[in-house]
Amino acid sequence: MAMRIVNKKKFIRGISIVIFLLIIIIIAIIMTVKGIIYLFTKPKETSQDENTITKMSNESNKQEPEKEQNTVTVATTNPRTVSQNEEILKQWNLKLVNKDNSVDRSYVPELEEIGDGVKFDKRAIKYLKDMINAMYKADITKIWVQSAYRSYDKQEELFNRKVEEYKEQGKNQEEAERLAQTVVQRPEMSEHNLALAADFNTVTNDFENTKAFTWLQKNAADYGFILRYPKDKQDITGITYESWHWRYVGKEHSKIIKEKGYCLEEYIDYLKGTQEV
């Protein structure tokens, strides 16, 4: 009886071992089959660099149409949309006044006196004073504002006086007015009506030979001022070179104008997108 029990236990143990081995063999077969299937079906691996290049290429393709649209709408180091530039063009300090862009006589800015009855736009006078004070600190004391704001009546008086000078030289009325306008703008077409222009010292081009002029060329943009009628832009401004005439436009704009070598007309076109970057 005892022998039967022992044999039965051996039999069961043997069966268990066989079953265990069969399970291991089955698992090994399954893993092998999976490995074979993976080898034949796995996707081609792409290196990290290839992924990066592909991603950049895709992004570049997506951005290309936007790049073409923006080439004519930026005006500063930071790209702006057309609508943003349109808002910038409405700024009081960028108001363009010339023979093609007049200002309504109803426009009279709030003024503040610099001294000796000379007045400037109240919003910009601080920058004019700071600039003159900086010149004094640089030991440039022979500097003063000869003319700034002019009323429309005063501008008309100056224009008519210049017309008469040319008529006395034998010019007819039409020719006299044309020549006068290259020197003194008509009322409503003068920056002096905006109170944003400052004429320095004797209001002659002898000013370009002074230390003050050299200093202004180098530093005026830091205070928001530009040389309004440069020598090499007369065909664009329509005004003869005036070394003494400096215009406030604001620091952000004056620095760009100086950097790009624009006159104000070109900068306005740049903002509009009609001037090449």
Q: pLDDT at residue 30 above 90?
A: no
- Distance between CA atoms of 95 and 19, rounded to whole angstroms? 96
List, in order, residues 6 or more apart from 179 with CB less than 8 Å away: 166, 171
- Distance between CA atoms of 45 and 23, rounded to whole angstroms? 34
Q: What's the whole-number average pLDDT of the chain?
A: 83
Please tell me the predicted confidence (pLDDT) of residue 51.
Answer: 46
pLDDT band at 17 (very low <50, low <70, confident <90, very high): confident
pLDDT band at 81 (very low <50, low <70, confident <90, very high): low
87 is catalytic: no
Q: Among 64, 66, 188, 242, which one carries the catalytic annotation?
A: 242
Of residues 67 and 221, more confidence is placed in 221
pTM of the complete model: 0.69
Please tell me the predicted confidence (pLDDT) of residue 83.
Answer: 72
pLDDT band at 275 (very low <50, low <70, confident <90, very high): low
Lowest mean pLDDT among 53-62, 88-97, 201-210: 53-62
List, in order, residues 6 or more apart from 245 with CB less than 8 Å away: 191, 197, 198, 199, 227, 228, 229
Q: Is 57 exposed, middle or buried (0-12, 13-18, 19+ CB in 10 A)?
A: exposed
pLDDT tens, residue by residue, 135-163: 999 999 999 999 999 999 999 999 999 99
Phi-psi region of 71 (alpha: psi -120 to 50; beta: other; left: phi over 0): alpha
Going from the C-alpha of 113 to that of each of 48, 128, 261, the distances in angstroms are: 67, 11, 31
pLDDT band at 72 (very low <50, low <70, confident <90, very high): very low
Mean pLDDT (whole number) for 92-109:
94
Please tell me the predicted confidence (pLDDT) of residue 38.
Answer: 63
Q: pLDDT at residue 119 above 90?
A: yes
Please tell me the predicted confidence (pLDDT) of residue 7.
Answer: 63
